[in-house]
Every structure is written in C-alpha cells, then in structure tokens.
Amino acid sequence: AQTVTQSQPEMSVQEAETVTLSCTYDTSESDYYLFWYKQPPSRQMILVIRQEAYKQQNATENRFSVNFQKAAKSFSLKISDSQLGDAAMYFCAYRSITGGGADGLTFGKGTHLIIQP
C-alpha cells in the first residue's frame, strides 16, 4: 500500500515571500499521479497542481510549482509571492495510474500554511 508523508504540520511565511511545503511518498509502482490540494477554512478541497510520474518536467501553475524527485520519492510544493488567500491546509496526495487495486487518493496528513501580513 502507498503512504504519503507530510512532515511539516504547520508552516508560516510572510506575505509576498516564497514557501516550500514538503511531501514524500512510498510506492512500488513506477507510474502514478501526484497532487496538491488546498483546503481553506470553508473545507472545500481545491486542486492546486498535478504531476504525472512519467513526466520529468516539473508541473507549474502560475505561482505554484513542484519539485518532483522520483528517485527520492519526493514531491514538494513551492508557492511564490505568497498571498493572504493562500492561507489554508495543503494536502499532498497519490493516485495509482493502474487503478487495478485500490483506487482513489492516498492523502498525507496536511500542512497548515499561515500567511503573515
């Protein structure tokens, strides 16, 4: 079974600064998907960014980018020019590409991101 670990329960950053959230995972599969979801106080789960394991290029979405290190099984999220609206819980998630066994997302415990004005 896959596991996802987020070692930072809470992070704090000044507005306009850059912050990196860490995520590691464990899997025996060679192909899979990785995601970062944002959960603001409203509890809505919002997709931030996704990465296909077979792609070497790191995914980017505006101010959000990832550092995907497949060999190290690491998938960190970098938020540049952080804004007050970025304050939320951030979840790293893994999904098998085969879907033959257990499907769905395996989530980390989350990182609470605080933005200091």
- Our finding on whether 25 is near other proteins (CB under 8 A) is no
Range in contact with other proteins (rule: CB under 8 A) among 12-20, 36-44, 53-61, 70-78: 36-44
Please choose, out of 7-15, 21-29, 53-61, 91-99, the segment that lies near other proteins by the rule CB under 8 A.
91-99
Size of the site for other proteins (CB under 8 A): 21
Asked if 102 is part of the footprint of other proteins (rule: CB under 8 A), the reply reads yes
Figure out which of the listed residues 37, 68, 75, 90 binds other proteins, where binding follows CB under 8 A: 37
What is the rounded CA–CA span in Å between residue 12 and residue 18?
10
What residue ranges bind other proteins (CB under 8 A)?
33, 35, 37, 42-47, 50, 91, 95, 97, 99, 102-105, 107, 109-110
